[in-house]
Amino acid sequence: MSSRTNRGILDRLKKGVVQGAEGYVFELERRGYIKAGPYVPEVVLDFPEAVKELHREFLRAGSEVMVALTYYAHREKLKDVGRENDLEFMNRQAVRLANEVAREGDALIAGNICNTWAYDPQNAQASSKIVRAMYEEQLGWALEEGIDFVISETNDYLGEALIALEVIKQLKLPAMVTLASVQHDQTRDGYDYIEACKILADHGADIVGLNCDRGPETMLSIIEKIRSVVSCYVAAQPVPYKTNAQYPTFESLRTGSGEQAFPLLLEPFLCNRFEMAEFARIAQAIGINYIGICCGGAPHYVRAMAEALGKTVPASKYSPVMELHPVLGAHVEEKHKEFLADWKS
């Protein structure tokens, strides 16, 4: 493994907030390169330039981490779309693409593993073996191609997240392990999200937290509690959708006519860039260390969040003209007050 930068993830976190950006699968689906339904990142092999372009857009907008697009590039999912033979090449290529773009700036490369759909708490021993083998093969290839740390994400089960953590630690890499939060307050194997993060931290995770599923408003209250019980770094990567107390996750949002909005009718619920910038500011204020975005994310959000965190990034050259700020600013100021009042109550 070649070293791309002298500033690893833990060094950067020690000095301040690290900004991430995800949502590659959702964005590349919108751009016509990934099939909604299976959501397998075939684009890595079929249109590698499209993947590099999105990496580059996130890099220009302020993301300090290029996350290799290996989400759902595991054996179970590739079987579903008849591309099991492409498994190794897809995983290696995804890490290579992330590396190529990271070198255009000063970004880190994160290997990426996720929930496998193979873990079964009723049959933990046998299913853990399968999950472990999947993680070992994916991360083995990633390590050979060159990664700085690993993000294990959208974990529905604490049991599965702990397997991921063990595999990452065996490889002696920094581990960021984040939970999905589709259910009200517990993982699918019955651990409160806050307790689950505490257990992951106690088992040696360097960064714990939440990603995906919840928008800013419904993620903040949980993430703040996680912050208060762990001493390790905490990550928050919400989806940019207006989830609320009644519909706390983007999977639960309903259109006016009562249909489930997820995954293809979500546009009316999108946050604006100022709301995501506000999320970044609040997250920083409550001590969150790794701040990013998940499904639905796009470069304009990432740039607005970067600027809210006090950075000027390459894409800032084309940030909105100042004349637009007072108009939008006044409106956003009001929304911000409501937002703050809501989440604090």
Q: Report the interface residues with Zn ion, using CB under 5 A.
A: 212, 294-295
Residue 231 beta carbon to Zn ion: minimum distance, rounded to whole angstroms: 27
Q: Which two tokens stand for residue 194?
A: 């806050």
Q: Nearer to Zn ion by C-beta: 61 or 212?
A: 212
Residue 262 beta carbon to Zn ion: minimum distance, rounded to whole angstroms: 11
Residue 200 beta carbon to Zn ion: minimum distance, rounded to whole angstroms: 19
Residue 340 beta carbon to Zn ion: minimum distance, rounded to whole angstroms: 25
Residue 296 beta carbon to Zn ion: minimum distance, rounded to whole angstroms: 8
Residue 146 beta carbon to Zn ion: minimum distance, rounded to whole angstroms: 24
Q: Nearer to Zn ion by C-beta: 59 or 295?
A: 295
Q: Nearer to Zn ion by C-beta: 65 or 171?
A: 65
Q: Nearer to Zn ion by C-beta: 127 or 218?
A: 218
Backbone angles phi, psi at 211, to 5 degrees: -140, 155
CB half-sphere exposure, 16, CA atoms < 13 A: 6
Residue 295 beta carbon to Zn ion: minimum distance, rounded to whole angstroms: 3
Q: What is the 3-state secondary structure (H, E, C) of the chain?
A: CCCCCCCCHHHHHHHCCEECCCCHHHHHHHCCCCCCCCCCCCHHHHCHHHHHHHHHHHHHHCCCEEECCCCCCCHHHHHHCCCHHHHHHHHHHHHHHHHHHHCCCCCEEEEEEECCCCCCHHHHHHHHHHHHHHHHHHHHHHHHHCCCEEEEEEECCHHHHHHHHHHHHHCCCCEEEEECCCCCCECCCCCEHHHHHHHHHHCCCCEEEEECCCCHHHHHHHHHHHHHHCCCEEEEECCCECCCCCCCCCCCCECCCCCECCCCCCHHHECCHHHHHHHHHHHHHCCCCEECCCCCCCHHHHHHHHHHCCCCCHHHHHCCCCCHHHHHHHHHHHHHHHHHHHHHC
Q: Nearer to Zn ion by C-beta: 139 or 294?
A: 294
Q: Nearer to Zn ion by C-beta: 167 or 294?
A: 294
Residue 270 beta carbon to Zn ion: minimum distance, rounded to whole angstroms: 14
In sequence order, which residues have a C-beta less than 8 Å from that of residue 297 and are 6 or more positions away? 21, 22, 23, 26, 27, 239, 240
Report how far apart, in Å, the C-alpha atoms of 225 and of each of 191, 288, 334 are: 15, 11, 26
Residue 54 beta carbon to Zn ion: minimum distance, rounded to whole angstroms: 14
